Amino acid sequence: MTVDVENLQFLTLILCKLMLNLHHQINIQSNSFQMVKKLLVSVFSLCTFGAFAQTAPAVAPPDSLSNYTFANDDSSTQGGEANTPVVKPYIRLKVTNIDTITNLITYKEIVEQEESQEDSLYIRCLKLLKRKFGVYGKMIPVNKPNEKIQVTLQLPVYSKPTAYNKMPAGMIDFTFTLDIKSGRYRYRIDNIRHLPPPNSLNPEPRPIYLEYYIDSKANVKATDLVIKSADEEIKKFIIELKKRLQDPKIADDDDW
């Protein structure tokens, strides 16, 4: 209940008039009148204070906890339900080395070696293939001795779901081609296929081209791991190839 200030002033005047009438009309002792007067003033003061207390708005102190919103405050959620975690969608591995003509995953480069001859590059490459893959891999016949080598090779691949887990995931085979000229050579790796490991459900799995994995929507995380591992193993082979095809360093007897 709220009391207007003007009404309180009007009520005060009425009380004062009643007190004066009582003083003149009733023959009472002075002390008794003063007690009645004090009592009425006290009652009037309490009424006035209560009225202002009711009309004054409730303001929270500036350092009150009600002025703060906490990051983990569940009271702000609708319906009293906690926020559910947001699961980010899986982003597929992006393959950039796609040949625009063949639409195959391809690794190729022309390497300049000015002082290298065709026959020396040819012999060094054959030695590398025999040492790393045995019996030169699966040679593809070409009619360009000392100019071209074409062979089907195999490398192991692995599934690495984390930095500390490494599991065999079968093999890959691919076509390796080396074109040789005096002072330079060109390598090309394509037709890459995954040879999945056999299991009880599929004792003789068929080879699968990596390009199929790129477009497939099934088991995308596992197939991306195979593509990533194939990329890593092929790049290791390319580093080794360049190292083995370099001219051997010969000590200069005049430099002493």
- Same domain, residue pair 122 and 237: yes
- Same domain, residue pair 231 and 136: yes
* Residue 71, domain member (yes or no): no
What does the pLDDT read at residue 134?
Answer: 81
DSSP assignment of 76-131 equals GSGGGPPPPPPPPPPPPPPP--B-TTT-SB-EEEEEE-TT--HHHHHHHHHHHHHH
The string of pLDDT tens digits covering residues 135-161 is 556 777 776 778 999 999 999 999 888
The string of pLDDT tens digits covering residues 61-71 is 554 444 444 34
Task: Give the domain range for residue 29.
Answer: 5-55
Gap between the Cα atoms of 185 and 246, Å rounded: 11
Rounded to the nearest 5 degrees, what angle is found at the Cα of 84, between the Cα atoms of 82 and 89? Answer: 170
Burial code (b: 16+ CB inside 10 Å, e: under 16) for 234-252 equals beebeeebeeebeeeeeee
How many structural domains does the chain have?
A: 2
What does the pLDDT read at residue 18?
Answer: 64
The ranges of the chain with pLDDT < 70 are 1-82, 135-137, 143, 251-256
What does the pLDDT read at residue 233?
Answer: 96
- Same domain, residue pair 34 and 129: no
The amino acid that residue 9 corresponds to is: Q
Gap between the Cα atoms of 8 and 54, Å rounded: 14
Gap between the Cα atoms of 122 and 118, Å rounded: 6
Gap between the Cα atoms of 182 and 46, Å rounded: 113
CATH number, domain with residue 135: 3.30.530.80
